[in-house]
Amino acid sequence: QLQLVESGGDLVQPGGSLRLSCAASGFHFYYATMSWFRQAPGKEREGVACIRRSGTGVYLAYYSDSVKGRFTISRDNAESTVYLQMNSLKPQDTAVYYCAHESGPACDYRPDYWGQGTQVTVSS
């Protein structure tokens, strides 16, 4: 019954911003490592952001080089929701974006469950 439902994908102009949401259910979200992937046509699915709980209880975020400084991953444990704030969007960011539940505690982009994805199109 683990479920991930993405929302927020849209058509946006270059330089614009968008916030994706992922509503999670069916597992203990508080302890889960969550990530965002994207896949453009003809390309491999790539991990772009990940957030995990450290041993001290602090949540740590990681990003791919292609989105670092532009995207921010965050989570609301009370709402069991993970977000991806996307700023300064480029046409190269156009892809289907997937929310994912990581199979372990590390941000190693080895998910065991995916959402169905939400389309982000960056174009003028």
Q: What is the pLDDT of residues 84-104, one digit of tens each?
A: 999 999 999 999 999 999 999
Closest CA to 100 of 83, 112, 86, 84: 112
Average pLDDT over residues 13-25: 98
Please list, in sequence order, all residues whose beta carbon lies within 8 angstroms of the beta carbon of residue 110, skipping any fewer than 6 positions away.
102, 103, 104
Assign residue 103 a region: left if phi > 0, alpha if psi is -120 to 50, beta otherwise? alpha
Note whether 8 and 23 are within 8 A (CB). Answer: no
Q: What is the pLDDT of residues 106-116, one digit of tens each?
A: 999 999 999 99
Q: What is the pLDDT of residues 30-46, one digit of tens each?
A: 999 999 999 999 999 99
Closest CA to 102 of 33, 22, 23: 33
